[in-house]
């Protein structure tokens, strides 16, 4: 019933751009803090970016700051991650997540309650 679905991943050359979308259904996520995480093969899940319930506050991992932009459209129950100047080290499965308890950005993966299935982003050199 409650579902987050990522889309927009794919193969891109280094320096290119992608925009990921996270479409929510089953409930409204408009009052939830939300975030993006990524996981490369053999590695743990890494924080990428987070956004407050209203979109007024954001937080980014140092590795993506200045290149990625997180945003949300609560009317559409959708969150986005604009990724520019992509690097091979950005290659990972990207997951969106929602935190029903906290409306502010958080980097702690264990705090999030709902997760999408992930979308693959591959950046070639």
What percentage of the chain has pLDDT greater than the value 70? 100
Residue 9's pLDDT band, with cuts at 50, 70 and 90, is very high
d(CA 12, CA 31): 33
pLDDT digits over 83-103, tens only? Answer: 999 999 999 999 999 999 988
Q: Which pLDDT belongs to residue 11? A: 98
- The residue that leads in pLDDT, 29 or 97, is 97
Q: Which pLDDT belongs to residue 113? A: 95
Q: Which pLDDT belongs to residue 103? A: 86
pLDDT digits over 56-80, tens only? Answer: 999 999 999 999 999 999 999 999 9
Tokens found for residue 89: 């080290």
Residue 109's pLDDT band, with cuts at 50, 70 and 90, is very high
pLDDT digits over 13-27, tens only? Answer: 999 999 999 999 998
Q: Tokens 């794919």 sit at which residue?
A: 10
Q: Which pLDDT belongs to residue 79? A: 96
HEC sequence for the chain? CCEEEEECCEEEECCCCEEEEEEEECCCCCCCEEEEEEECCCCCCEEEEEECCCCCCEEECCCCCCCEEEEEEHHHCEEEEEECCCCHHHCEEEEEEEECCCCCCCCCHHHCCEECCCEEEEEEC
């Amino acid at each position: 019933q409650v579902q987050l679905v990522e889309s927009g991943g794919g193969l891109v050359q280094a320096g290119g751009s992608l925009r990921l979308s996270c479409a929510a259904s089953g409930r409204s996520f408009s009052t939830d803090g939300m975030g993006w995480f990524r996981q490369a093969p053999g590695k743990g899940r890494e924080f990428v970016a987070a956004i407050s319930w209203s979109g007024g506050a954001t937080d980014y991992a140092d590795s993506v700051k200045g290149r990625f932009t997180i945003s949300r459209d609560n009317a559409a129950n959708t969150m986005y991650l604009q990724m520019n100047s992509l690097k091979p080290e950005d290659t990972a499965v990207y997951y969106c997540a929602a935190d029903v308890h906290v409306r502010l950005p958080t980097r702690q993966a264990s705090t999030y309650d709902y997760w999408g299935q992930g979308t693959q982003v591959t950046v070639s050199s």
